[in-house]
Chain A
Amino acid sequence: MANVAGGPASQSGPAAAAEDAARPRRASLPDGRALLERALSLREGSIIVVTILTAVYFSANTSSFFTAANFETLLPYFAPLAILGAGEVFVMILGEIDLSIGAMYLFAPFVFYKLATAGIPLVPSVILALLCCMVVGLVNGFFTAIVGINSFVTTLGMLFTFEGLALIISHGQPVATPGAAVHQTTQQVTHVVNGVHVTLPETVNHISTFAKVFGAGTYSELIWAIVIVLVLQTVLTFTRWGLYTVSIGSNKLGAGEAGVRVRSIMIRNFMLCSLMGGFVGILEAVRAQSVQPDPAGANEILFLAIASAVIGGTLLAGGSGTVVGALIGALFLGILKDGLVLQGVNANYLLFYTGLAIILAASVSVYVTRVRRGRGIG
């Protein structure tokens, strides 16, 4: 738990006084030092350092990495992963896993397409498609929390089922994303060149407001990612829902004995995770202007999202994790891919290096966590 606020000011009573007397060195330290210590001991601390080092390395070795244009290239690499990772963190903290987000990523845009082409307005179509995803999450949660099937098995089954269903309803054919088409018009634009007015025809792209909001705008996915990550991190750290999520992952029986509604929270988290999967699918479909019936691509996104959460310090065993960590994990993967491409690494080596980097980053994260715990004991 990253408890940001606090400090000795809120303590009172004889025990607190005795505590101050017992540890005078600590009590007399300025707040800045405590703050620094806190930042270093953050769960995300290690991956922040690794990410910055990676960025510095690519900035030094390629001239084009540290540029505004490249930042825009980088965005679609990591923003979708950050959103998917954020949802996955809520399930992973429970000690469960959701593989079906890959299927939601594939399935939701096709549902959206079917609804929108059936005459339902765009935004309601998006909402209905996302509701379908939440129903899938409900089913995941039901089989995991109530029937008692391992979530790996449940969601693996749902992954295949709904990727299959996406292929069935799409007949395996790509479709144009509704509302995402770019209209081009030609305008006469007048320039002043050497004091002479020159009028030339120019092509102007028109993107609908819907498309700009739902993924096609340059910063649309980034803004969604940041907003979702901030909201979900707040939920995780500062609400009962988050507290109960951590409780279930840490001590499921104990949480139940204390009165936490374990099944309800588990189902809720699976629904959230599926929702994120479907939402990213729609954002990406709008951005790409087309929906591809490509389960392989969806599966790769799924595994990268889980990798983001793990690199960001969320334990597969449950009980511990952060949403912000998943964002930074996603950023790390994005920088790595982008940097390797800019460095001109042979495309065949890309996956190889990514794999090694995931293991390295996760090892650093685990090592730092262990050191942090070791220091804390006693």
Chain B
Amino acid sequence: MADPAIEPQKVVPPTSAPDDVLRVEHIAKRFGPVTALRDVNLHLKKGEVLGLLGDNGAGKSTLIKIICGFQRADSGKMFVRGEPYEPRSVDEGRTRGIETVYQDLALIDELSVYHNMFLRRERVHRPIPLLANRQMKHEARAALDEIGINIPRIDVAVARLSGGQRQAIAVARTVNSDADIILLDEPLAAMGAKEGAMILDLVARLKAEGRVSIIMILHNYVHVLEACDRVSMIQDGVIALDKPTAETSVDELTEIVVNEYKRARQAAQAEEARVRAGEPGAQ
């Protein structure tokens, strides 16, 4: 019955390396009847850029949100630098050195560029904790200059900026923090080629500095092979592939996805056949 050309799905078991900064083991998450993640095993080495791939709805963003502390996993364990890590809030993740650029950017339209850049990390005066706006403007400008993002005015509301500029600010906010584990959920989504290249350059520079480790969700396999050291692919709630980019190719990645579609189609056809076979009996 099964087409021999279609490979069954593989499941990557928990692995670890001595220089892991983050380890994710057997993470599962359900939303009511929908199983987003079944059994996810992932590890991230120090200074590494890990590309996270997967179809729409495969659970990439859910995994990111669990790692950063915005959502809680139903089961499974996580470790940051070998220490158990069970974040109950984004703040808790932040204190462990994890910062995130979300797919929806989490920017506040009504707030200025610099307030957005320091949201939840505001600089305040002492002893009366009023916002140190001047200092934040100054630091925000310096950070944007260093990254090379051209935002003409940083005291305007981010609502007035273009999609690419907004994305750049969300990335700059994360890179500018003290975090050493950075999660990027589709950082190139709203960007033109020029801005996208700038973000990839930034990732390459961070990689060269070797201080931070990065997990990055990308859709374009060419970008993945260019920017990442290693790829992990989520399929059907599990990690189905975990390979250094040097050992894989666009062809291989494509084939895995094609196989996933074939399996899905086969499953759908089998289901249909079963329903048809059942119909006469039911009458």
Shortest beta-carbon distance from B269 to chain A in Å? 38
Chain B residues with Cβ below 8 Å from A319 are 109-110
Report the bound CA distance from A96 to B102 in whole Å: 26
- Contacting residue for A10 out of B111, B122, B137, B151, CB 8 A: B137
Chain B residues with Cβ below 8 Å from A11 are 137-138, 141, 154
* B152→A247 contact, CB < 8 A: no
Q: B205 at interface (Cβ–Cβ under 8 A)?
A: no
Residues of chain B in range 91-122 having any CB-CB distance to chain A below 8 Å = 91, 94, 100, 102, 104-112, 115, 119-120, 122
Q: A188 at interface (Cβ–Cβ under 8 A)?
A: no
Q: How many A-B residue pairs have CB under 8 A?
A: 117
Q: Which of A141-149, A255-263, A290-298, A357-365 lies on the face that meets chain B?
A: A255-263
* B133→A15 contact, CB < 8 A: no
Shortest beta-carbon distance from A49 to chain B in Å? 23
Q: B239 at interface (Cβ–Cβ under 8 A)?
A: no
Chain A residues with Cβ below 8 Å from B111 are 1, 243, 246-247, 250
Q: B142 at interface (Cβ–Cβ under 8 A)?
A: yes
Shortest beta-carbon distance from B122 to chain A in Å? 5
Report the bound CA distance from A378 to B159 in whole Å: 11
Residues of A contacting B: mostly = helix
* A247→B108 contact, CB < 8 A: yes
* B156→A243 contact, CB < 8 A: no
Number of B residues near A (Cβ < 8 Å) is: 42
* A255→B106 contact, CB < 8 A: yes
Q: B144 at interface (Cβ–Cβ under 8 A)?
A: yes
- Contacting residue for B100 out of A13, A22, A238, A257, CB 8 A: A257
Chain B residues with Cβ below 8 Å from A251 are 106-109
Chain A residues with Cβ below 8 Å from B265 are none
Report the bound CA distance from A261 to B153 in whole Å: 29
Query: Given A251-B109, A257-B102, A257-B106, is A12 in contact with B138 using a C-beta cutoff of 8 Å?
Result: yes
* B156→A376 contact, CB < 8 A: yes
Shortest beta-carbon distance from A275 to chain B in Å? 21
Chain A residues with Cβ below 8 Å from B119 are 243, 247, 255, 258-260
* B129→A240 contact, CB < 8 A: yes
> Would you list the 5 A-B pairs with minimal beta carbon distance, nearest first?
A259-B90, A254-B106, A257-B106, A250-B110, A259-B120
